[in-house]
Amino acid sequence: MTLANPHAPLPARPRSVEKIVADGQHNAFASFAKWQGRYVLALRKGSGHTARDGVLVVLGSDDARAWDAVARFDTGGDDRDAQLVALGGRLWLYFNALTDGSFAVYASSSADGRHWSAPQKVYRDGYILWKPVQFGGRLYAGVHRPGADDYRHVHLAASDDGLQWEKVGAIREGQGESETSLLFGADGHLTAFLRDQTTVGGAIMEADPPYAEWKERSAGVHPSGQAVYVFDGVTYVLSRAFCCDPPLPAAAPRSELGTAVDQVTVIYTYENGALMPYCLLGPLAGNHDSSYATAVREGDEMWVVFHRSAHEYAGDYRTLDAADLHLARVPLKEG
């Protein structure tokens, strides 16, 4: 369901929240990493959420406060959805580019986080690669095909070298599949958190090697723009929550949400197979275009970067609007 009571106290509160990128442009869909002692932040910068002029910018920082630009990628399309992941002694950056209605996936890599290779197109045209993770010396990612609900599907893809990707198998097909984030267990058991475009709630998919047969159950909440991290044995799912009054059940059609809905960045813990609200980031009032959170571990905190609109929600996404990136310092769960 949607958050039953978004105003109820949760186990954690941010110790601080501050803007780190705010220049009147739409700064969003970021990825945050720490590489060789320095912070790396990749983001899409454009004139609006639905504008098609986005470019991919990479920033670097010693303290996550003062940032300098180290790279800029412009494929000629709308470059978005930055994804940072380490493999083979290099930091890899993946992003998706929308050109004339079709997506393509690009990859660049860096040894030092400052000097980046020219982006290369990888995988298949028409797909969006989402949140690659490393397991067993390989990269894995959920890759989905956008479009009409019955045309959509998501499958599991893998790469040994960061450039050559292959399809491992289908996760789910023909039911409004979208962003899908992965969680591997030590034994290779795979949990996939799937955003569903047809219902308010999403799905949790599970499979064991060779990932040919998947079991599905409701996520109970709405995952979107979601990322998964494990710190000190605790699994955190960073997502966006729908908040409306009265709350809607997870099985409700997305059409029932209408426009009387607020959205907020939320951190869940994943415990005993359930997503449990842990911490809210940012206010609810007037909030719609938000989230796509990303995190790094720092001591007893996770430092979370997320975006939030600089304007009140007007009922739809605007071609020209602004969004700011924020950094929240959130205490890790004790015990």
Please tell me the distance from the alpha carbon of residue 182 to that of residue 138, in angstroms, as a whole number. Answer: 13
Name the nearest CA neighbour of 263 among 236, 237, 281, 278.
Answer: 281
Interstrand relation of 68-73 and 78-87 (parallel, antiparallel or unpaired): unpaired
Please tell me the distance from the alpha carbon of residue 214 to that of residue 69, in angstroms, as a whole number. Answer: 42
Name the nearest CA neighbour of 179 among 132, 230, 129, 240.
Answer: 129
Please tell me the distance from the alpha carbon of residue 294 to that of residue 41, in angstroms, as a whole number. Answer: 10
Please tell me the distance from the alpha carbon of residue 332 to that of residue 313, in angstroms, as a whole number. Answer: 31
The encoded tokens of residue 252 equal 């409700």
**Res 321: pLDDT:** 85
CA distances in angstroms from 89 to 26, 137, 164, 216, 278, listed in the order given: 32, 11, 17, 35, 33
**Res 1: pLDDT:** 40
Q: Which residues pair with 95 in a beta bridge?
A: 106
User: At residue 255, what are phi and psi to the nearest 5 degrees?
Assistant: -60, -20
8 A C-beta contact, residue 257 and residue 244: yes
Question: What's the one-letter identity of residue 233?
Answer: G
Within 74-226, strands assigned E span: 78-87, 90-99, 102-110, 120-122, 128-135, 138-145, 153-159, 165-173, 177-184, 190-196, 203-207, 215-218
Q: Cβ atoms within 10 A of the Cβ of 38, count? A: 16
Sign of CA dihedral 29, 308, 235, 223: negative
Question: What's the one-letter identity of residue 113?
Answer: G
The length of the chain is 335
8 A C-beta contact, residue 228 and residue 265: no
**Res 300: pLDDT:** 97
In the three-class reduction of DSSP (H, G, I as helix; E, B as strand; rest coil), residue 257 is classed as helix
Interstrand relation of 138-145 and 215-218 (parallel, antiparallel or unpaired): unpaired
Name the nearest CA neighbour of 61 among 35, 43, 89, 97.
Answer: 35
Name the nearest CA neighbour of 95 among 138, 46, 148.
Answer: 46
pLDDT in tens, the chain (335 residues): 456 666 678 999 999 999 999 999 999 999 999 999 999 999 999 998 888 999 999 999 999 999 999 999 999 999 999 999 999 999 999 999 999 999 999 999 999 999 999 999 999 999 999 999 999 999 999 999 999 999 999 999 999 999 999 999 999 999 999 999 999 999 999 999 999 999 989 999 999 999 999 999 999 999 999 999 999 999 999 999 888 778 888 899 988 876 667 778 999 999 999 999 999 997 766 666 788 999 999 999 999 999 998 766 555 666 778 899 999 999 999 86
8 A C-beta contact, residue 307 and residue 41: no
8 A C-beta contact, residue 139 and residue 157: no
Cα angle at 268 between 162 and 94, to 5 degrees? Answer: 20
8 A C-beta contact, residue 277 and residue 264: no
Residues 6+ apart with CB under 8 A from 34: 40, 296
